[in-house]
Chains A and B, each alone.
Chain A
Amino acid sequence: MSALRRHIHPGWALVAPFLLLVAALYLGPILNILWLSVTDPEPGLGNYQKLFESDSLLRIFWTTIRICLITTVGSVFLGYSIAYAMVHCHEKQKSYMLTLLLVSFWISILVRTFSWLMLLGHRGLVNNALEGMGVIAEPIAFMRNELGVLIGMIHYMIPYAVLPLLVNMQSLDMRVMNASRNLGATGSQTFWRIYLPLTTPGIVASSLLIFILSLGFYVTPAVLGGGKVLMIAEYISVQLLVTLKWGTAAMLAGLMLFGVLAMLYIMSRFMKLSTVFGGSS
Chain B
Amino acid sequence: MQDKQFMRETLVDGAKAFKEGKMKRRTFLTLCAMTGFSAAASFPGGAEAAADYIVMWNWGGQSEECHGGAIGKPHEAAGGLPLRFDTSGPLQGKIKEMVDSGNVTADVCDADLFDAVALGASGHLEAIDYNVVSKDKTLPNYALDHGVSIILYGYAFVYDTEAYGDNPPNSWADFFDTAKFPGKRSLYKWANGSLEAALMADGVDKDALYPLDMDRALNKIKGMKDDSLYWGSGSEAHSMCVNGEVTMGMVWQNRGRNIEEDTEGRYKLVMNQALAMPGAYIVPKGNPAGREEIMKFIAQAQDPDAQLQLLDCLGMTPSNPAAFDGIPEGQQPYAITSAMNIDGVAFNDPTWWGENGGDAVNAFLEAIS
Contact = CB atoms under 8 A, between A and B. Distances in A.
Given A227-B229, A244-B118, A122 B92 contact: no
B116 to A, nearest CB: 14
Interface residues of B, number: 28
B358 interface: yes
Contact of A243 (B187, B245, B358, B368): B358
A251 to B, nearest CB: 14
Contacts of A56: 366, 369
A239 B190 CA distance: 12
Interface in B202-251: 225, 229-232, 236, 239, 243-245
Contacts of B93: 240-242, 244, 246
Interface stretch (A16-24, A69-77, A188-196, A228-236): A228-236
Most chain A CB within a 10 A radius of its CB, from B232, B357, B369:
B369
A228 B368 CA distance: 6
Given A241-B92, A242-B92, A229 B358 contact: no
Contact of B230 (A54, A121, A227, A235): A227
A246 B93 CA distance: 9
A46 to B, nearest CB: 15
A244 B92 contact: yes
Contacts of A235: 365
Nearest to A122: B245
- Most chain B CB within 10 A, of A226, A229, A239, is at A226
A185 to B, nearest CB: 50
B296 interface: no
Interface string A203-244: 000000000000000000011001111100001001111111
A208 to B, nearest CB: 25
Contacts of B365: 230, 235, 238
Contacts of A60: 366, 369
A59 interface: yes
B189 interface: yes
Interface string A43-84: 000000000001010011001000000000000000000000
A217 to B, nearest CB: 14
Contacts of B366: 54, 56, 59-60
B244 A122 contact: yes
A155 interface: no
A229 to B, nearest CB: 7
B103 interface: no
Contacts of B239: 117
A238 B231 CA distance: 14
A232 to B, nearest CB: 11
Contacts of B362: 238-239, 243, 245
Contacts of A228: 225, 229-230, 368-369
Nearest to A227: B230
Given A59-B369, A222-B232, A144 B245 contact: yes
A123 interface: yes
B361 interface: yes
A243 B243 CA distance: 31
Given A122-B245, A227-B189, A242 B361 contact: yes
Given A238-B362, A241-B94, A242-B91, 16 more contacts: A59-B366, A59-B369, A60-B369, A117-B239, A122-B243, A123-B245, A144-B245, A227-B230, A229-B369, A230-B365, A235-B365, A238-B361, A242-B361, A243-B357, A244-B96, A245-B362
Interface of A: 54, 56, 59-60, 63, 117, 121-123, 144, 222-223, 226-230, 235, 238-246
Interface of B: 91-94, 96, 118, 187, 189-190, 225, 229-232, 236, 239, 243-245, 357-359, 361-362, 365-366, 368-369
